[in-house]
Amino acid sequence: MDIKLLINFLVGFFIVAIAANQISKVFQKIKFPLITGLIITGIIAGSSLLNFISKEALENLNFLNEIALSIIAFSAGSELYLNDLRSRMKSIKWMTIGQLVITFVMSTVVIYFIADLIPFMKGIPSKHKIGISLLFATIFVARSPSSAIAVINEMRANGPFTKTVMGVTVVKDVLVIILFAICLAVAKAFIHDEETGIFFFVILFLELIASFGIGFLYGKILQIPFFSKLDSQIKGILIIAIGYSVYILSQIVHIKSMEYFHHDFSLEPLLICIIASFYLTNYSKHRIEFSEVLDEISPIIYIVFFTLTGASLSIQTLISVFGIAVGLFFLRLITMVFGGMFGVFAAKDPKKYTFIAWMPYLTQAGVALGLATIISHEFPTWGYQFETIIIAIIVINQLVGPPLFKWSLNFVKESHLKSKKSNYDGTSDALIFGLENQSIALANQLKKHKWEARIVNTDKRNRKDVIGFEVIDLKSINYTSLKTLELHKTEAFILMLSDEDNYKIAELIYENIGSKEVVVRLNKRENFEKFHKLGVLIIEPATAMVSLLDHFVRSPNATSLLLGMDDGQDSMDVEIRNKDIHGIRLRDLRLPSDVLVLSIKRKGHLLVSHGYTRMRLGDIITLVGAESSLEELKFKFDT
């Protein structure tokens, strides 16, 4: 086509896409999903209303859809990391079977029998009804990994239920693309009245095998950008180019097979992309960087995709099929309830999951919409009505799904939201013995890192009010007095009194509280040994200052980082309590790229750690990196 015309279409569309991005933020403020704002803006800008994006423009911009679909498939495949699934494999297996098989079979049967209630299916031949029913049922199975991850991160959820949900979500999206490839081939044969004998299924099998094989080849090609030190934006452009090349290859194979064999041999681009991403994620060292690059380019891709999809819709058609969409939404919901119940009973999961197991799987987004877009292009006669119904269902799912998922996480008590109690901020607390300028400064520093600090004063003559902190007067140092301070609920103790008083408190904690974090400011060097026997952490001010100055001279960058002086950087000790981490090698932890492991402490001994060091329950791992990343890892390693 004319390059100038294509440029005009692209410029016009990107102006609309920029506007859609801003308008979608308004929708977010009124608690609507981002996707809804993008689709509605696309509808308004499309040919059914303002005609900013004409039908001719949509046809010529179809390559943007193909680019977006490849990135959506890459994103789905990158979530399927096998090491993360192993502890809940039994539950994931049965829940996936329940959600996949029961939802697919029930939906296919019901839609076939109610076909005359769906306008574009009324009066068509039975074989056509079967084909369309299969396509509806396939899309009903699809779920949204990005939506699931967003809710899990928002709720800071962790536990067996959460792990099962995440595993089922990503496994289903891989399986649904394989299922879609099969059902689309069968549907095309039924609807185009082609023969479906043994030869048809042999060709279908060969097409799937070829798609798998090419997918593994593309998995190796996807690694090429990560062998160099290119900028992440350049890597993103290369990934987009690789994704689009899958569609070009598929088109070439289609044309050449018709030319030489007079038979359409179809590769499945989505399947190739998801296999390629799966291969890179599980069998290369680039998975973290790959995920980060996808996270960087995905927002732009989604804006383009959802806006373009909205522009292809007719507002009149959307209104006319909305009632049907609501009915099909409830059909999908009911089938998922049965699928969830089956999964719980088959896996012998806790009975409390029985009636809530379906709730996390309701939300749909990119994959479902991508499949609907493919069907719309494949069957132009009725495909746009099919796509419109699916989009209406997706919008309903986007509104209803996340609240239900959040409720289910709260029900199974796997969310870790910030406590609303006034005396606890949802993190950790410290008790500082000694009221002086240093203890006040320390309390302020801890407060910056979201710790709750209390100061204990043992000297009446030194009593003064401190704004922002609770100061507790302690008449005498004995266990009876200390019990009133609720020491068992305290995470850390900092002792800044005389060595004699510090030792009394440290000994009482050691004998009555157990293994709590106790930090002592030492006054006299000769008392070091007796404190050391209690297992406390000892700070000797004079020696510490010399050591600190020494480190600043020899390694200023590392020292600034460890002391948290670099903006947004911090260090943290985390105890491994998560059973899924037990036995995993350090290199397989999928740590963010802005986090480093400094040391691992096991049973009081520091290990010389490397990529093949296997984690054990109870290990204390010292991490340094961005504060936001450290906060997320805290829950990854927890129970």
Most confident of 26-35, 230-239, 357-366, 605-614: 230-239
Band the pLDDT of 164: cuts 50, 70, 90: confident
* Residue-level pLDDT at 539: 86
Q: What is the mean pLDDT of residues 330-335?
A: 92
**pLDDT for 423 beyond 50:** no
C-alpha–C-alpha distance, residues 577 and 634, integer Å? 10
Tokens of 555: 């390694």
The bridge status of strand 517-521 relative to strand 537-539 is parallel
Contact status, residue 86 vs residue 251, Cβ threshold 8 Å: no
Does pLDDT of 419 surpass 60?
A: no
Does the domain at 570-636 match CATH 3.30.70.1450? Answer given as yes
- Examine the pLDDT at 245 and tell me if it is beyond 90: yes
Based on the number of CB atoms within 10 Å of its own CB, is 256 exposed (0-12), middle (13-18) or buried (19 or more)? exposed
Neighbours of 591 (CB within 10 A): 18
Angle between helices 160-191 and 269-283 (to 10 degrees): 150
Fold of 3-411: Na+/H+ antiporter like fold (1.20.1530)
CB under 8 Å to 117, separation ≥6 — which residues?
Answer: 324, 327
Long-range contacts at 530-535 (CB < 8 A, ≥ 24 apart):
530/503, 531/502, 531/503, 531/506, 534/506, 534/507, 534/510, 535/510
User: Has residue 420 got a pLDDT over 50?
Assistant: no
Out of 170-184, 226-240, 380-394, 550-564, least confident range: 550-564
Q: Find the farthest-apart pair of alpha carbons in the chain and give their distance in angstroms, rounded.
A: 99
Topology (CATH level 3) of domain 428-544: Rossmann fold (3.40.50)
* Residue 244: closest CA among 218, 225, 220: 218
401, pLDDT greater than 50: yes
Q: How confident is the model at residue 213, as a pLDDT? A: 92
Q: Whole-angstrom Cα distance, residue 387 to residue 389?
A: 5
What are the strands of the beta sheet with 517-521, ordered from one edge?
Answer: 470-473, 451-457, 428-433, 492-495, 517-521, 537-539
Q: Give the pLDDT of residue 87.
A: 65
Three-class SS state of 137: helix
pLDDT at 422: 37
Average pLDDT, the chain: 82
296 contact partners, CB below 8 Å, separation of at least 6 = 232, 233, 236
The alpha-helical segments, DSSP class H, found in 427-585 are 437-448, 479-483, 499-512, 528-533, 541-554, 556-562
- 452: its two tokens: 């709750």
pLDDT greater than 70 at residue 121:
yes
- At 171 the pLDDT is 83
pLDDT of residue 327: 92
**Contact in structure between 367 and 277 (CB atoms under 8 Å):** no
Q: Is 215 exposed, middle or buried (0-12, 13-18, 19+ CB in 10 A)?
A: buried
- CB-CB neighbours of 415 under 10 Å: 20
Asked whether the predicted pLDDT for residue 84 surpasses 80, the reply is no
Q: Which of 119-123, 568-572, 595-599, 621-625 has the highest mean pLDDT?
A: 119-123
Yes or no: say if 244 and 256 are a contact pair by the CB < 8 Å rule.
Answer: no
User: What backbone phi and psi angles, to 5 degrees, belong to 61?
Assistant: -100, 15
583 backbone φψ class: left, alpha, beta (φ>0; ψ -120 to 50)? left
- Please tell me the pTM assigned to this model: 0.67
Give pLDDT, residue 467: 73
Cα separation, 172 vs 363, in Å, equals 13
For residue 152, give both structure tokens. 């899990």
Conformational region of residue 434, where left means phi above 0, alpha means psi within -120 to 50, and beta covers everything else: left
Contact between 601 and 535 (Cβ < 8 Å)? no
Instruction: Place 9 in a pLDDT band, splitting at 50, 70 and 90.
Output: confident
Burial of 13 (0-12, 13-18, 19+ CB in 10 A): buried
Amino acid 417: pLDDT: 57
Q: Are 368 and 270 in contact (CB under 8 A)?
A: no
pLDDT average, residue stretch 465-473: 77
DSSP state of 85: T
Task: Report CA dihedral (359, 70, 150, 310) to the nearest 10 degrees.
Answer: -80
pLDDT 10s digits, 491-503: 788 998 888 888 8
- Tokens at 465, concatenated: 């009010």
Q: What is the pLDDT of residue 284?
A: 86
Check residue 517 and give its pLDDT: 80
- How far is residue 110's CA from residue 115's CA, in Å, rounded to a whole number? 8
Contacts of residue 561, Cβ cutoff 8 Å, sequence gap at least 6: 569, 571, 624
Question: Exposed, middle or buried by CB within 10 Å (0-12, 13-18, 19+), for 409?
Answer: buried
**Tens digits of per-residue pLDDT, 266-291?**
888 888 998 999 899 888 888 888 88
CA distance 360 to 161: 10
How many degrees, rounded to 5, is the angle at CA 243 between CA 240 and CA 245? 110
Count H helices and E strands in the chain, helices first.
Answer: 23, 10
Q: Is the pLDDT of residue 375 over 60?
A: yes
Lowest mean pLDDT among 47-61, 278-292, 299-313, 476-490: 476-490
What per-residue confidence (pLDDT) applies to 421?
A: 39
When mean pLDDT is compared across 170-174, 207-211, 618-622, the lowest value belongs to 170-174
* Nearest partner of 24 among 495, 440, 398, judged by Cα: 398
Q: What share of the chain is helix, strand, coil (3-state, %, to 5)?
A: 65, 10, 25
Calculate mean pLDDT across residues 460-465: 69
CA atoms of 595 and 579, how far apart (whole Å) = 22
Q: Binning pLDDT at 50, 70 and 90, where does residue 463 land?
A: low
DSSP per-residue codes, 141-179: H---HHHHHHHHHHHT--SHHHHHHHHHHHHHHHHHHHH
The residue ranges of every structural domain in the chain are 3-411, 428-544, 570-636
173 within 8 A of 142, measured Cβ to Cβ: yes
- Element (DSSP H or E) covering residue 409: helix 383-411
Place of tokens 């296999």: 275
Average the pLDDT over 584-591 and give the result: 78
Q: Which pLDDT does position 218 carry in this prediction?
A: 92
Which pLDDT score, from 0 to 100, does residue 338 have?
A: 92
DSSP, collapsed to helix, strand or coil, labels residue 567 as coil
Q: Residue 603 above 90 pLDDT?
A: no
Q: How far apart are alpha carbons 249 and 255 in whole angstroms?
A: 10
pLDDT of residue 424: 40
pLDDT of residue 28: 73
* pLDDT-based confidence at residue 330 (cuts at 50, 70, 90): very high
Is there a shared CATH topology between the 3-411 domain and the 570-636 domain? no
Least confidently predicted of 241-255, 423-437, 578-592: 423-437
